[in-house]
Copies of this chain bind each other. A is one copy, B any other.
Amino acid sequence: MLTKKQLDLLEFIHKRMQKDGVPPSFDEMKLALDLRSKSGIHRLITALEERGFIRRLAHRARAIEIVKLPESLGGESSSGFTPKVIDGDKPDVARPANAEPVMASATDLPVMGRIAAGVPIAAISEVSHQVSVPNSMLAASGEHYALEVKGDSMIEAGINDGDVVVIRETSSADNGDIVVALIEDQEATLKRFKRSGRSIALEAANPAYETRVYPEDMVKVQGKLVGLIRTY
């Protein structure tokens, strides 16, 4: 899953955080890996993020957090690690007796880029990073992936700019479903699906955008919205 360099860096970050609690800066990492430029680090970090090992805040100094460790670094296996653990322990809560880092059922899904609203987007392409979504959001079978929403076209459906939507792959949809549709094999959008006869209407949930109607063979449903995750 990781290349040597990536692993080295991850290990360094991990040790650093164990030692003084603060993640290293790019320069420190540069030093540690004996590079002459930070840009190399930047790329390694990006790779680690893409693979779901770390999480970070862009443009924030030292805003790196380790999300998981590979087994080779004393990673989990038996629940050992637990990068950060909040066990939402509220008062009496009925929690199963086994004390623990309360890892719950979730699955990492790849975020396949951003999907636009008004003016669509470069079709779904590559993984930018991973998000964990509760399994309760996923169907027992079927492929899922996530997209970051760009724009405000679905605002009246409670989908805001920046939200992450979870999509289940499917090529069919029912009226009223919110779907990811590929129009003319070109642009992908998130819209509400409505069929009438041989035409398909894709309507935004925002009066500022107009509903567009296409003959059915110009629209391909790629997936349907099954969940939404927003972080403030």
Contact = CB atoms under 8 A, between A and B. Distances in A.
Interface of A: 1-4, 7, 17, 20-23, 51-52, 55, 57, 61-65, 67-68, 70-73, 76-78, 80-90, 92-96, 98, 100-110, 112, 126-127, 130-146, 155, 158-160, 163, 178, 225-232
A88 B62 CA distance: 36
B105 A110 contact: no
Question: Interface on chain A toward B: helix, strand, loop, or mixed SS?
Answer: loop
Identical copies in the complex:
2
B51 A84 contact: no
A104 B81 contact: no
A86 B78 CA distance: 11
B77 A104 contact: no
B71 A87 contact: no
Given A1-B64, A23-B1, A101-B107, A135 B89 contact: yes
13 contacts: A2-B62, A65-B140, A86-B107, A86-B142, A86-B144, A88-B104, A89-B136, A90-B145, A104-B106, A134-B229, A136-B231, A158-B159, A228-B229
Nearest to A154: B158
